[in-house]
Structure 1
Amino acid sequence: MGRHHTPARTRHRWVPRRGVVFIVVALMMFSCLLLVHGLAGSQIGVDAAAHPDAEATDGVPPAITAGGPVIDARGAPVSARMPAKTVALTFDDGPDPTWTPQVLEVLRRHQVPATFFVVGSMAARHPDLLRDIRAAGSEVGLHTFTHPDLSDASGVRIDRELAENQLVLAGALGESSYLLRPPYSSTANAVTADALRSFEAAGRDGYVTVLSDVDSEDWQRPGVDAIVRNATPQNGAGGVVLLHDAGGDRSQTVAALDRLIPELQAQGYRFATPETAVGLPADNRPVSTAAHLAGSTLIGLVAVAGVVVDALTWLLLVVGVLVVLRLVLMLVVAVRHHRRRHAPGFSWGPPVTAPVSVIVPAYNEKENIAATVRSLVASDHPVEVLVVDDGSTDGTADIVEALRLPNVRVIRQANGGKPSALNAGIAHARHDLIVMIDGDTVFEPTTVGRLVAPFADPTVGAVAGNAKVASRRGLLARWQHIEYVMGFNVDRRVYDVLRCMPTVPGAAGAFRRQVLLQVGGVSDDTLAEDTDLTMAICRTGWRVVYEDAARAWTEAPATLGQLWRQRYRWSYGTMQSMWKHRHAVVEPGASGHFGRVGLAHLAVFQVLLPLLAPLVDIFLVYGLIFLDPVTTLVLWAAVQAVQMVAAVVAFRLEREPLGVLVLLPLQQIVYRQLMYAVLIRSMVTAVGGIRLGWQKLRRVGGLEDLLQDGPVPAPAPSPLREPVGAARARAR
């Protein structure tokens, strides 16, 4: 697609602020949901017995290390033991939707209370289980929100973990708790100086720490008998028993609990909660309405985040499968197309020798127009060249006339936009075969002949050429080169086979004059005039094919800003064209085939799925932070490997050197994000109904050098000769 000046009457602000605001707000909301879901769904470890380190316990008062499991550090740290023949059953790491209800059922059956030290992130996802715990007569304590080791945490982290954990209790129960069991804590004699520091930090917030002095070791799943034996206090002593209702398979814990309780009761044990057993006030006190509302809001956010992220996860899986299947099928079809076209003896029919009119719409193309025209005159096929100067202010027309090349005419007109320039060229063209080329593009000597060769088939109405990036010196140009080879040209091979070509590129396209007249010429209804024109031709029943041997070398945008403006116009113009030709989906015949195959493919794989493609990158970051980073990186590397294989195949088809593909991973990380932003921005603009104007890109030039030492051979004399004076007279 070329770029042209915007007539003043249609020029509009191309950056819709409301679109920017919408995108930013949407991304912030989605990021918040991911953060909430990540925190609520982070992996929870299982508390194991710690072994004291003599050096680590230095500085811990003997009253703590030799004391009981209930440590009150709200002032000077003191501890208390459980009375003899008194047991407090405690459960860590829940609530779990599978095991917590089974534990509660055993407790109800034996009419025994327990204390559940819940992880806030788990409780936020299952607030109903907290209510079940309280309904069963048991209590709820805090086990932090994300299960960190508090002995290694800062004071700020400790405060946040407990506040968030408390907020979940307030939302689910309308209650608060002052009982805390730090994750990875064990018995009092294992308390280290760092652990005591965390107890004191929690104590300043009003919390009492409850450790354990009887470890069932159920986290190791040693068997029911071993769990019952481990959980039984020795010699009639009391104790706080550590069990788990989450963190893995807890079937042994449930079975052991059903045996432990009656056995202890038979030995004369009574069951109590830790605070009542040592004479502290009852736990689980009512909270204010504001706290309850804040907690309910947090739980609601977790629920919404869970639904959204789970839905997007499944959607991402579907998208991934579809994209991979499409990639494989497209490569298979593209290889088939290549082999068929390059098979020995393939021919479109009798050689096409009829002269061709080449139209060059130009607006301020002084940097490259001379190279463009010279390359056309050097064609080995008879051509006339019509340069339509669309109101240039930089002397473009004068440059062409000064070349004094044969069979070149200059048509001057007031600025009216690219469609107007192309239609003027069609009106002045002498021949029935018409080639259109942008003013920033050069042809090889064989390009025109190869471009019109398919017209030997009377069913062919238009031909798409092979547009290539001319200068590949910079990183941005090389990324675009990869995109052209992997995307545009592979796509055109497939569209050719399926007979639903949506775009003949403005850089290199050939048409029958009668086809152009049949569709009413080039329309200015959209910003993608080449796509609009091609779709109109497909709907008439004419065949549109791709000729990969007809190579055109075009100047790619040199800066990110220029690339943004170009792709923004392409993307938005394509959406406009799809909307304009939407009725093709329900029409019969060739138009219906194009609508149901071509338009549907564009809608799904060029608009809808690319809008969801950023999920891959978002979930990559999510996985690195909240999931197993190794697994996440392996999956990401697998996706990149598939992309690399596809790229190698595409480059082989184009006979391009593979060295540039070392930039492919970086392109996927950086360049692709820009394309996502362009598509999202275009969609917002389309939904908003904003009409954009043409975007003129600043030319860098350099195509003249390409003619001399690049892939395009130097000009040769044209078979068609015309007096320069006659050409200049017609131009006037």
Structure 2
Amino acid sequence: MARAAHRKRRSTRLPLRYLLPALFLVAIMLMLLLRGYVHSEFLADHRVNPPTSNSKVPADVLEGGPVVDTRNGKTASYHVPERTMVLTFDDGPDPVWTPKVLDVLHQHDARGVFFITGTMASRYPALVRRMVDEGHEIGLHTFNHPDLSLQSTSRIDWELAQNQLALVGATGVRTSLFRPPYSSHAHALDNDTWPVTRHLGERGYITVFNDTDTKDWSRPGAQEIIRRAMPEKSGDGAIVLMHDSGGDRSQTVEALEIMLPRLKAEGYRFVNVTEALDAPSAHTPVGGFELWKGKAFVGAVSVSGKAMGVLTVLLAVVGSLVLLRFALMLVLSWLHARRVRRPDFRWGDEPVTRPVSVLVPAYNEAKCIVNTVRSLDASDHPIEIIVIDDGSTDGTADIVESLRMPNVRVVRQANAGKPAALNNGIRHARYDIVVMMDGDTVFEPCTVRELVQPFADPEVGAVAGNAKVGNRDKLIGAWQHIEYVMGFNLDRRLYDVLRCMPTIPGAVGAFRREALHRVGGMSEDTLAEDTDITMAMHRDGWRVVYAENARAWTEAPESVQQLWSQRYRWSYGTMQAIWKHRRAFLERGPSGRFGRVGLPLVSLFMVVAPLLAPLIDIFLLYGVIFGPTGKTVAAWLGVLAVQAICAAYAFRLDRERMTHLLSLPLQQLLYRQLMYVVLLQSWITALTGGRLRWQKLRRTGAVESAPVTGQPTRERSAAR
């Protein structure tokens, strides 16, 4: 009982190979959300409250100075002394203009106050540290820059806390200075803004308004900015409102360069608020958990910003790869179809009519093997059929023998895997052309004939057939049908023209026996023995071609788990094959040509591009939520339209019904994500040195027979 309970707990535990891809996806989404958060792409409120009556504002505040202190339940306001200028800069820091402002202030030994927003401080913490290091004072200006008179007290507290968090993370200090967004003079306080000022005092903040507003955001010119900065009476002190962010601040910098030396010569001093009021510093050092929390927040923002930059570059890469692949597919597929469909096209002087051997490796294929063998028996080309039973436990071999077909032989072996079964079949084959197929696949009567015709060309060592999904009546099957027609068969036309076919499908392929012997037969080094043997053929100098009319109908996985298992093996096996044949990149002759043409294309289009393709959907989601929704959706629909054009062309070449393409948008949104996670899992397995074992897919026998050649394809079901 205890062992059973332990096994049950282990079976319900999420395997690490599934957990890591899921965590990776979650991490990407969290980084994108954080980026949207610190760029004010959500939670931002750009409403501005119009002025109202000031009947509830104390008269001494309306007539007092620009510094208002409502702490400890008391109300006081302060002016700055004569010939004292407090230069304040709102909305920063900005990576372009804040350094220029700081340079001018440093050059003239002047200090000021920077009212920073949390969104900018978290993105450019080094600039905030420089402000503090150079003796400037920091004030809060909220996190997202909303009009606080329109916000609840909980939102106000949240804005203050997040703003302080960014400041603490950047500098290790807190501040007691605050300036509300959209504020101006103290006498502009009204019945909506005064409660906010009192609430700020209850939270320990001093509110800093201004005496003069340069309105430098309107870019009136440097001289006009200087004129607006000066107090009404000569010699008076003033708190001056300027900006170091929010747009082009070149006129602000120019005005400072002129104003600072001129006013200093007239006896003015440029100090921060607490210096002007002879008060304790507004900065309080922070330590402990609060400091580490701030550093963690700023660090996470930095990571998300860099990750977004990387993702943007990767999006450009994947976009270029997708468009390049589509362009190559359309052009080269057209050239391929034009070549092989010419009336005078021939593979050699005479058609291939000699008998061939058909190998059917089978492991527990009791539900499918009768359909497979009978479809072969109906072939219009002379063949021998060899069924290699790889230690089946469901009576597969007995079922074949019970058919009593004269041209069918059964070879039994202990379970050793598909490559071993195929090599055993090669040893028993009588003829010099060997056709290989899966035990769940059915051929059309003309499939073998069409498949072997390219061997009339003595340079051809192997031929890839046209694998079709037979059980496409369900959604997953329909999506795989689109993938097979567009992603596999259109690709094979492309690779055929470029003479770098990467994979002969296990469901339908043919080999020259001499070529198989020269490369050592089917290898067990990788889980994708079909890709491995194809690459070996190229490296040995053989030509590998595609026979589009050699159709085979195979049973695709009908559940997500089965599909996952199959594609995980495929993608991991492809990576193994690429790594195994990596030396071809440096070799000469046919091997070098394949290494410098085929391997890069396979790596880009079968490994890199599919891994990055979900970025298109991630940015779609991000753009719909945070960005320009219309442009984002239009861009995604544009990519989908290109895919639809390629898919429609592929369906036309394969003479398939277009109705299945109605599920293409849904396939792109859902199916592609599943394939991405599978590929990511394969990457993790490869990088961590993990090993993947053969995984037998559960078959249902849904594909009973092939459609009649030349007729529209029909989905067939086992239930009749």
Q: Same fold (TM over 0.5)?
A: yes
Secondary structure, aligned partner of 1:354 = coil
Report which stretch shifted further, 579-588 or 242-251. Answer: 579-588
**TM-align CA RMSD:** 3.7
Following superposition, the deviation at residue 478 of structure 1 comes to: 1.4
Counterpart in the other structure of 2:335: 336
Of structures 1 and 2, the one with the larger relative CO (CA 8 A, separation 6+) is: 1
Residue 89 in structure 1 maps to residue 83 in structure 2: no
**Using the alignment, how far apart are the partners of 1:712 and 1:251 within structure 2?**
69
* 8 Å contact kept, 2:122–2:298: yes
Counterpart in the other structure of 1:578: 578
Following superposition, the deviation at residue 380 of structure 1 comes to: 1.8
Q: What are the within-5 Å matches in structure 2 for residues 555-594 of structure 1?
A: 555-594=555-594
**Using the alignment, how far apart are the partners of 1:333 and 1:34 within structure 2?**
38
* 8 Å contact kept, 1:52–1:190: no
**Using the alignment, how far apart are the partners of 2:424 and 2:267 within structure 1?**
105
Secondary structure, aligned partner of 1:703 = coil
Structure 1 residues 45 and 135, CA, compared in 2 at 3 Å: closer, same or farther?
Answer: farther
Counterpart in the other structure of 1:181: 179
Counterpart in the other structure of 1:407: 407
Following superposition, the deviation at residue 587 of structure 1 comes to: 2.8
Following superposition, the deviation at residue 88 of structure 1 comes to: 3.8
Secondary structure, aligned partner of 2:241 = strand
Structure 1 residues 578 and 72, CA, compared in 2 at 3 Å: closer, same or farther?
Answer: same
Query: CA offsets per residue over residues 42-86 of structure 1, 9 Å max, x none?
Result: 57999999663438x797677767765434343447362636866
Which amino acid in the other structure matches residue 377 of structure 2? V
**Using the alignment, how far apart are the partners of 1:389 and 1:46 within structure 2?**
67
Query: CA offsets per residue over residues 680-720 of structure 1, 9 Å max, x none?
Result: 11122223333322211111223226558985799xxxxxx
Counterpart in the other structure of 2:209: 211
Which amino acid in the other structure matches residue 99 of structure 1? W
* 8 Å contact kept, 1:469–1:477: yes
Counterpart in the other structure of 2:5: none
Secondary structure, aligned partner of 1:358 = strand
Residue 78 in structure 1 maps to residue 75 in structure 2: yes
* 8 Å contact kept, 1:179–1:210: yes
Report which stretch shifted further, 230-239 or 426-435. Answer: 230-239
Which amino acid in the other structure matches residue 546 of structure 1? Y
* 8 Å contact kept, 1:49–1:215: no
* 8 Å contact kept, 1:51–1:190: no
Structure 1 residues 297 and 690, CA, compared in 2 at 3 Å: closer, same or farther?
Answer: closer
Secondary structure, aligned partner of 1:445 = coil
> Identity over the aligned pairs, expressed in percent?
56
Query: CA offsets per residue over residues 515-535 of structure 1, 9 Å max, x none?
Result: 223333322232212222222
Report which stretch shifted further, 92-101 or 474-483. Answer: 92-101
Following superposition, the deviation at residue 437 of structure 1 comes to: 1.5
TM-score computed with the length of structure 1 as normaliser: 0.85
* 8 Å contact kept, 1:71–1:77: no
Residue 120 in structure 1 maps to residue 125 in structure 2: no
**Using the alignment, how far apart are the partners of 2:615 and 2:80 within structure 1?**
56
Which amino acid in the other structure matches residue 80 of structure 1? S
* 8 Å contact kept, 2:81–2:276: no
Q: What are the within-5 Å matches in structure 2 for residues 607-646 of structure 1?
A: 607-625=607-625, 627-646=627-646
**Using the alignment, how far apart are the partners of 1:565 and 1:544 within structure 2?**
28
Secondary structure, aligned partner of 1:689 = coil
Secondary structure, aligned partner of 2:704 = helix
* 8 Å contact kept, 2:444–2:551: yes
Following superposition, the deviation at residue 626 of structure 1 comes to: 5.1
**Using the alignment, how far apart are the partners of 2:174 and 2:266 within structure 1?**
34
Structure 1 residues 325 and 374, CA, compared in 2 at 3 Å: closer, same or farther?
Answer: same
Which amino acid in the other structure matches residue 680 of structure 1? L
TM-score computed with the length of structure 2 as normaliser: 0.86
**Using the alignment, how far apart are the partners of 2:254 and 2:160 within structure 1?**
32
Which amino acid in the other structure matches residue 69 of structure 2? D
* 8 Å contact kept, 1:359–1:388: yes
* 8 Å contact kept, 1:72–1:79: yes
Selected match of 1:101 from 99, 102, 108: 99
**Using the alignment, how far apart are the partners of 1:416 and 1:49 within structure 2?**
72
Structure 1 residues 204 and 511, CA, compared in 2 at 3 Å: closer, same or farther?
Answer: same
* 8 Å contact kept, 2:552–2:706: no
Residue 449 in structure 1 maps to residue 449 in structure 2: yes
Secondary structure, aligned partner of 1:249 = coil
Q: What are the within-5 Å matches in structure 2 for residues 58-69 of structure 1?
A: 69=66
Structure 1 residues 695 and 293, CA, compared in 2 at 3 Å: closer, same or farther?
Answer: closer
Residue 241 in structure 1 maps to residue 230 in structure 2: no
Following superposition, the deviation at residue 675 of structure 1 comes to: 0.9
Following superposition, the deviation at residue 366 of structure 1 comes to: 2.6
Structure 2: stretches of 5+ with no match in the other structure? 1-10, 716-720
* 8 Å contact kept, 1:84–1:238: yes
Report which stretch shifted further, 260-269 or 287-296. Answer: 260-269
Structure 1 residues 213 and 426, CA, compared in 2 at 3 Å: closer, same or farther?
Answer: same
Which amino acid in the other structure matches residue 176 of structure 2? Y
Query: CA offsets per residue over residues 313-343 of structure 1, 9 Å max, x none?
Result: 3343234323422331232112211111112
Counterpart in the other structure of 1:725: none
Counterpart in the other structure of 1:7: none
Counterpart in the other structure of 2:649: 649
**Using the alignment, how far apart are the partners of 2:492 and 2:280 within structure 1?**
77
Counterpart in the other structure of 2:7: none
Count of equivalent residues: 700
**Using the alignment, how far apart are the partners of 1:415 and 1:138 within structure 2?**
78
**Using the alignment, how far apart are the partners of 1:121 and 1:93 within structure 2?**
9
